Amino acid sequence: MPTPNVEAVKLDELNAWRIRHGQAELLVAQQGAHILSYQVDGQPPLIWLNDQATFKTGKSIRAGVPVCWPWFGNLTRNPDSVQAMRVSNDPATAHGLVRAMDWELKGIETEGESLKVEFVLPYPENGLSGWPHQVDLTLTIVMDERLHIHLTSHNRGSETVSLSQALHSYFAVSDVRNVQVEGVDGLSYIETLDDWNTHTQAGNLHFAGETDRIYLDTPPTLSILDPHWERRIELTSSGSRSAVIWNPWTERAKAFSDMADDGWQRMLCIETANVMDDVVTLLPQASHTLGVSIGSKPL
């Protein structure tokens, strides 16, 4: 059984842990329970660590795997049931409330050949800002031959709660202009760059400009084919029927202060999600787990 190596590190203002298990290394921050990078020895990274990312208290990080919860994206674009959960007249932050909060590291332990890292975000004593619902969160990360990420929402209150969410994964690619996504052929998708109209995907998805699409009724497995790095990244989701595929391309990337002008070339987001008609409805005392398992194999 491999012995894990855990090192506490400081990234500017943020606490983080660098964890080695077998041939893999994981970097995860306490703020947001945010996976920052994941790489297997001798291979390119799987999870993209943006070299221009900023690590400031209370500021969300543009890299790795942000947790978007209890709503995804712009709240006003969410179904009415999700919007109704918020009780505030102040503008809603994009992608919810928990990306910039400190989570508790509950434990790091081996389970057979696997290593489990668990973070919890109990319902705060004073509630979440403008969101007065008693839902606890657990983020579980398991390292074995793949990387497994599971986000569990547990409704401890007496009222039904509706939420949208995503594991906003940034994947490392050799050059997004030369990769394609397999598994989307024939799927309906919402093209947010075309006034949120619905289209049907024909064949694999290739990239030749800014991309921001919500794919509906997705299959369990999607793949990124990267011929230059001669690999296939496989994503196998659970608790999800939707996925968001995003790349900012040239002009959007230039507008980001925390991304190099050419950073868009080296990343591709496929976000395992519960969005649009795939939102989660949690009855009192009920739980829901959103998950994704990530691995790579030669093309």
Alpha carbon distance 13, 173 (integer Å): 28
Alpha carbon distance 18, 201 (integer Å): 39
Alpha carbon distance 26, 3 (integer Å): 14
Give yes or no: 251 in active site: no
Residue 36 near residue 61, CB atoms below 8 Å:
yes
pLDDT in the model for residue 2: 66
Residues of the domain holding 208: 5-298
| CATH label of the domain that carries residue 274 | 2.70.98.10
pLDDT in the model for residue 126: 75
Helix (H, G, I), strand (E, B) or coil at 231: strand
pTM of this structure:
0.97
Report which of residues 230 and 3 the model is more confident about: 230
Give yes or no: 168 in active site: yes
Chain centre distance of CA 269? 8
Residues 180-235 have pLDDT tens digits of 999 999 999 999 999 999 999 999 999 999 999 999 999 999 999 999 999 999 99
- For the chain, the C-alpha Rg in angstroms (whole number) is 18
Domains of the chain: total: 1
Residue 275 near residue 218, CB atoms below 8 Å:
no
Catalytic residue among 168, 210, 228, 230: 168
Residues 237-288 have pLDDT tens digits of 999 999 999 999 999 999 999 999 999 999 999 999 999 999 999 999 999 9
pLDDT greater than 90 at residue 123: no
Residues 23-65 have pLDDT tens digits of 999 999 999 999 999 999 999 999 999 999 999 999 999 999 9
pLDDT in the model for residue 247: 98
Q: Which amino acid is at 154?
A: H
Q: Which amino acid is at 75?
A: L
pLDDT greater than 70 at residue 70: yes
Q: What is the mean pLDDT of residues 134-142?
A: 97
DSSP for 116-147, please give it. EEEEEEPPPTT-BTTB---EEEEEEEEESSSE
pLDDT in the model for residue 125: 78
Q: Which amino acid is at 114?
A: S
